[in-house]
Amino acid sequence: MSTTAEAARRRTFAVIAHPDAGKSTLTEALALHAHIITEAGATHGKGNRKATVSDWMEMEKDRGISIASSALQFEYAHEGTDYMINLVDTPGHADFSEDTYRVLSAVDAAVMLIDAAKGLEPQTLKLFRVCKARGLPIITVINKWDRIGQEPLELVEEIVTEIDLQPTPLYWPVGEAGDFRGLAHVNADGEVDEYVHFDRTAGGATIAPETFFAPDAAAEQEEDAWETAVAEAELLAGDGAIHDQELFEQCVTSPLIFASAMLNFGVHQILDTLCAIAPSPAGRASDPAAIEASTSAVDEFREIEDDFSGVVFKVQAGMDKNHRDTLAFMRVVSGEFDRGMQVTHAQSGRSFSSKYALTVFGRTRETVETAYPGDIVGLVNAGSLAPGDTIYAGRKVQYPPMPQFAPEHFRILRAKSLGKYKQFRKALDQLEAEGVVQILRNDARGDANPVMAAVGPMQFEVMQGRMANEYNVETVTEPIPYTVARLTDEASAPELGRQRGVEIFTRGDGALVALFGDKWKLAFIEKEHPGLTIEPMVAD
The whole-number average pLDDT for the span 91-107 is 71
**pLDDT over 90 percentage in the chain:** 63
pLDDT tens digits along 275-330? 999 999 999 999 998 898 887 889 999 999 999 999 998 887 655 555 556 788 99
Encode pLDDT of 163-180 as tens digits.
Answer: 889 999 999 999 999 999
Beta strands 301-302 and 351-353: pairing type?
Answer: unpaired
Binding-site annotation: residue ranges for GTP: 89-93
Q: How confident is the model at residue 538 (pLDDT cuts 50, 70, 90)?
A: low
Phi, psi for 410 (deg, rounded to 5): -140, 135
Q: What is the pLDDT of residue 461?
A: 87
pLDDT of residue 67 exceeding 50: no
- Asked if pLDDT for residue 200 goes beyond 60, the answer is yes
Residue 434 amino acid letter: E
Could you give the C-alpha distances from 136 to 101, 129, 196, 255, 374, in angstroms and in order? 12, 10, 29, 13, 14
For each of the domains in the chain, give its residue range(s) and CATH number, in order of start: 3-277 (3.40.50.300), 284-392 (2.40.30.10), 409-528 (3.30.70.3280)
Whether 265 shows a pLDDT value over 90: the answer reads yes
pLDDT in tens, 333-391: 999 999 999 999 999 999 988 888 887 665 577 888 999 999 999 898 776 888 899 99
Q: 163-186: buried (b, 16+ CB within 10 Å) or exposed (e) per residue?
A: bebbbbbbbbbbbbbeebbbbbbb
For the chain, the residue count is 540
Q: Report the 10 Å Cβ neighbour count for 482.
A: 23
Binding region:
89-93
CA distance 383 to 387: 11
Query: Cα–Cα distance between 494 and 225 in angstroms, integer?
Result: 71
Confidence at residue 361, expressed as pLDDT on a 0 to 100 scale? 62
The pTM score is: 0.82
- One DSSP character per residue, 207-251 reads PPPEEEE-HHHHHHHHTHHHHHHHHHHHHHHHTT----HHHHHTT
- The per-residue pLDDT for 483 is 94
